[in-house]
Amino acid sequence: MTWKRKDLLAIQPLEAAEITHVIDTAGSMREIGARDIKKVPTLRGKTVVNLFYEPSTRTRTSFEIAGKWLSADVINFTASSSSVGKGESMLDTARNIEAMRPDVVVVRHQSSGAADLLARTLRCGIVNAGDGAHEHPTQALQDLLTIREKKGHLEGLHVAIVGDIAHSRVARSNIHGMRKLGMTVTVAGPPTLIPHGVQELGVKVSHRLDDAIRDVDVIMMLRLQQERMTAQLIPSLREYSRYWGLTLDRLASGARPDVLIMHPGPVNRGVELSPEVADGPYSVILDQVQNGVAVRMAVLFLLAGSKAAQGAAAA
Amino acid sequence: MPREGHFFLIKAQVLDEAALERALTRIAHEIVEKSGGTEGLAFVGLHTRGVTLARRLAQRIAGIDGVTVPVGTLDITLYRDDLGLKADQPVVRSTDIPFAVKGTTIVLVDDVLFTGRTIRAALDALMDHGRPRMIQLAVLIDRGHRELPIRPDYVGKNLPTSRRERVAVLLREHDGEDRVVIEQPEEVSAP
Amino acid sequence: MSAPLLIRHGRVVDPANGIDAPLDVLVRDGAVARVGKSLKPPEGAETVDATGLVVCPGLIDIHVHLREPGFEYKETVRTGTRAAAAGGFTAVCCMANTDPVNDNRAVTDYILARARSEGAVRVYPIGAVTRGLEGKALAELAELAEAGCVAFSDDGKPVMNAELYRRAMEYTLPFGVPVISHAEDADLARGGSMHEGVVSTELGLRGVPSAAEDVMVARDVLLAELTGAHVHIAHVSTAGAVRLIREGKARGLRVTAEVTPHHLVLTEDAVRQYDPNTKMNPPLRTRRDVDAVIEALADGTIDCIATDHAPHATSEKEGEYDHSAFGIVGLETAVSLVLDRLVRPGLVDLCTAVARMSADPARLLNLPGGSLAAGAPADITLLDLERELTVTPARFLSRSRNTPFGGFRLRGAPVMTIVGGEVRWRAA
């Protein structure tokens, strides 16, 4: 299995073997973070540009650390959102950056399809760090790596993804990855936060938290954003956390004793997760973060080191 | 036996099972003698067959000295100087050094020493784990054609070869048998 | 006036007069003089050899955005009418969402003046229903009608206030000038950039549910019933709207409808690559909706084809999908799409297709044309059903290039456009 793609834009087009290859590579690279000298010379002389239109300290820092541990030169470019008429258009910014000949551009943007747009326009490899509500492939990869590390395998496991599925790129990427690797997925949330036709993606749907978390191996809680209330999707945070917040009591009444609690972060303690659950024994949230750096190292290595990306950048 | 989809034919066998065993036993004794014992000693095998050979050496030393010498595994993919030049990207395997590198005499173990670039990468990788007291190199076969100033401390057999040839070390644990053969590319042997 | 023109050896398809036969057409003084077998060319006449071609009444597109005044960087009356001629159209109706909005006769007069001096085909302006298209107060509708507006529409936007829309319908009833409804519930549609369905869920794009259109079609049909007005539904895209319109007609209401070529050909799957040239309002819908509008076009529930030609600059259609402008150009691809994707596979027969683009639009808005009867204006289109073309946006006569059909290979195309007896365009 060799990585042959110029970009990592989404999980949906990947085959199971490709997903497994990335996770395996990440697993092998995890030990770099445990060393005294956290450095390998692999991407020495390569330039990685973090093009972040949405503010995001955690993901950007994760990519930055990953690039630096691989000895790459990492440049952070925080651009303001490209609304029509204001400032430089996204394509103009991208073309300017390309003129500086980066090897990989990592992009996060609030518009779905933004990473695809860049991949069509730029010659270098593109990593999608989150585009609108579409996909966040490295998040799903780090989640899958974490689950495999804790459970020893992936196939046959049952995962419940709970919360604002409609607006979640994390949910979409994970759904695609889990389905391809033979896992069962249930999405759960109030009907206004479950997108139209989601069953077509091969998932079950539940509108009651207690049903959704019963007997599953993994519970993945999603962040609820404030904007959902002004958008008239839920009446109040109070009601949401009462019916959809995960507490120890709710876990005690039906979840498996070896269940994993996951969250892509940042956690709204008291809303989707009570502090005891977020910081408790079932939570693997910090493992997710650690694995995130390993996954991003693997992705940068595969993209910057692949002949496809090399050939494209040199052209 | 063709490997990796290329067509190579076996030209000659250079070590049979018994000779391979004797070579490893001799190397094990040489290591113990040169280090004046097993104190502060550790093996690091290079994936894939170097690891197996390191484990076999450690077994023998345990037989000689009664001491268990730690064995680490090293993947040098991230230190190679030829990434992006090969059509098929090599797979990153695990690196596991279960002992403190600082102050240890490390014996690097690999199956075949050729240009020396793999060992150069291994030295860089080891240094990133800490500062060893000393690094020595044990190889089963030295086939010449060095491109860097690298020399082994312990050699199973010196084997002059032409550049086009390949040296294949077959080990029970991976290939079902123990022997070392020279292979040549099919077109060379055509009449 | 130009010399007499004889179009001979063609297949005349004139649905308004029930004609589909090999006939010649004689044009004199800008009007159709005679249609008959083997006509002799009069003294000094030019002849056009229409062997193997279809000769039909000039095509009429009642939904076009010419963008002038105000948005000349996207299109002007000159470039838009040249694009129309290249698409086989002899007349277009232009919408009011210009800048300034065509909500007073000064703008109407301006557009007509531009059309007289630079238009390659006939131009009939459509006036705004509300001032500034703000949906709050009526525009001076009587004066707009007097100035020459052939319909009223806030197209681009719906008239959300039902009471205001009702009053507009009542007020305009005596003029015999219909209102054209852009049927979209602004609240249900807000923020959406494609059809709400399985594809929008996968792509993570906010969708516009079919209900956003159906809800307003239902309302407009009922307002037509209340007021007795002629309400024409623009760019129908859903099976639900088709059902409501069919029912309204069955009850004898004066409800009519149009559909665009792209809604007859493409589905929401076209959006998967996030190409902003697939973004328009209403959006591309499901296979089921496309089948419903095709069937409705064939049986007359949908009265005509209109392109909703909406030019935009490249910079407005090349960025993030949700920030891109809505709309695509359509004048230069309409005929080929209809011939290749509807007529050729037998979904709609040729006579019906020609009617839906000539006689029917003329009838709906009371426009001259749409017929080749003696005395009718000599607006004539020649079609070559076998001519193959590859859609090449770079060669469009329109100022804009925003089309999802670039690279499509189609069979069937216009080859000559005649307005008032003058050849305004011919294929290379």
- What is the pLDDT confidence band of residue B65, given thresholds at 50, 70 and 90? confident
Asked if residue A220 has pLDDT above 70, the reply is: yes
CB atoms within 10 A of CB C167: 14
Whole-angstrom distance, CA of residue C152 vs CA of residue C169 = 10
Cβ–Cβ < 8 Å for C241, C292 = no
Same domain, A100 and A172: no
Closest in B84, B92, B129 to A307, CB measured: B84
Closest in A28, A40, A306 to B89, CB measured: A306
pLDDT at residue A86, rounded to an integer: 56
Rg (CA), chain A: 19
pLDDT at residue A77, rounded to an integer: 85
**CA distance, residue A271 to nearest chain B CA (Å):** 40
Q: What percent of chain C has pLDDT over 70?
A: 100
**CA distance, residue C194 to nearest chain A CA (Å):** 12
In the CATH scheme, what is the code of domain B16-161?
3.40.50.2020
What's this model's pTM, rounded to 2 decimal places? 0.87
Report whether the peptide linkage leading into residue C69 is cis, meaning its omega lies within 30 degrees of zero: yes
**CA distance, residue B26 to nearest chain A CA (Å):** 34
pLDDT at residue A82, rounded to an integer: 42
Asked if residue B189 has pLDDT above 50, the reply is: no
Q: What percent of chain A has pLDDT over 90?
A: 76
Say if A6 falls within a structural domain.
no
- What are chain C's partners, defined as 3 or more CB pairs within 8 angstroms? A
Q: How many domains does the structure of chain A reveal?
A: 2
A with C: touching (≥3 Cβ pairs within 8 Å): yes
Domain with CATH 2.30.40.10 in chain C: 5-55+377-426
**What mean pLDDT is predicted for residues C301-307?**
98
- What is the pLDDT confidence band of residue B80, given thresholds at 50, 70 and 90? confident
Asked if residue B2 has pLDDT above 50, the reply is: no
Interchain CB distance below 8 Å, B79 and A301:
no
Interchain CB distance below 8 Å, C204 and A90:
no
- What is the pLDDT confidence band of residue C311, given thresholds at 50, 70 and 90? very high
Mean pLDDT, chain A, whole residue set: 91
Closest in A35, A41, A301 to B124, CB measured: A41
Say if A9 falls within a structural domain.
no
Cβ–Cβ < 8 Å for A114, A148 = no
Same domain, A283 and A153: yes
pLDDT at residue A87, rounded to an integer: 64
pLDDT at residue A63, rounded to an integer: 97
- Mutation for B interface: A1, A4, A29, most B CBs within 10 A: A29
Q: Domain C59-365 - what CATH class?
A: alpha beta
CA distances from C12 to C9, C15, C219, C351, C425 (A): 9, 9, 41, 10, 19
Could you tell me the residue range of the domain that residue A102 belongs to?
A: 16-134+292-314
* Residue B89 forms contact with A (CB below 8 Å): yes
**CA distance, residue B165 to nearest chain A CA (Å):** 26
Same domain, A173 and A234: yes
A-chain residues within 8 Å CB-CB of B94?
27-28, 31
Same domain, A80 and A144: no
- What is the pLDDT confidence band of residue A310, given thresholds at 50, 70 and 90? low
Interchain CB distance below 8 Å, A29 and B130:
no
Active site residue C155: no
Give the DSSP H or E segment for C389: strand C380-390
pLDDT tens, C250-278?
999 999 999 999 999 999 999 999 999 99
**What mean pLDDT is predicted for residues C1-26?**
94
- Which residue among C154, C289, C308, C384 is the active-site one? C308
Same domain, A172 and A189: yes
Same domain, A151 and A255: yes
Cβ–Cβ < 8 Å for A132, A111 = yes
Complex-level ipTM: 0.86
Same domain, A273 and A172: yes
From the centroid of its chain, how far is CA A71? 23
Touching B: A residues 164-193, CB under 8 Å: none
Angle among Cα B143, B145, B147 to the nearest 5 degrees reads: 135
pLDDT at residue A84, rounded to an integer: 35
Contacts 24+ apart (CB under 8 A), A94-101: A94/A51, A94/A118, A94/A121, A94/A122, A95/A121, A95/A122, A97/A49, A97/A51, A97/A122, A98/A122, A98/A123, A98/A124, A100/A47, A100/A49, A101/A47, A101/A313
Interchain CB distance below 8 Å, C201 and A195:
yes
Say if A53 falls within a structural domain.
yes
**CA distance, residue C205 to nearest chain A CA (Å):** 6
CATH classification of the domain holding A278: 3.40.50.1370
A-B contacts (CB, under 8 Å): 55
Same domain, A310 and A222: no
Whole-angstrom distance, CA of residue A262 vs CA of residue A284 = 6
pLDDT at residue B1, rounded to an integer: 38
* Residue B128 forms contact with A (CB below 8 Å): yes
Same domain, A258 and A210: yes
Touching B: A residues 115-144, CB under 8 Å: none
Say if A5 falls within a structural domain.
no
- Mutation for C interface: A108, A196, A205, A232, most C CBs within 10 A: A196
pLDDT at residue A94, rounded to an integer: 86
* Residue C36 forms contact with A (CB below 8 Å): no
Interchain CB distance below 8 Å, C319 and A197:
no
Domain C5-55+377-426 superfamily per CATH: Urease, subunit C, domain 1 (2.30.40.10)
Interchain CB distance below 8 Å, A307 and B89:
yes
Asked if residue B190 has pLDDT above 50, the reply is: no
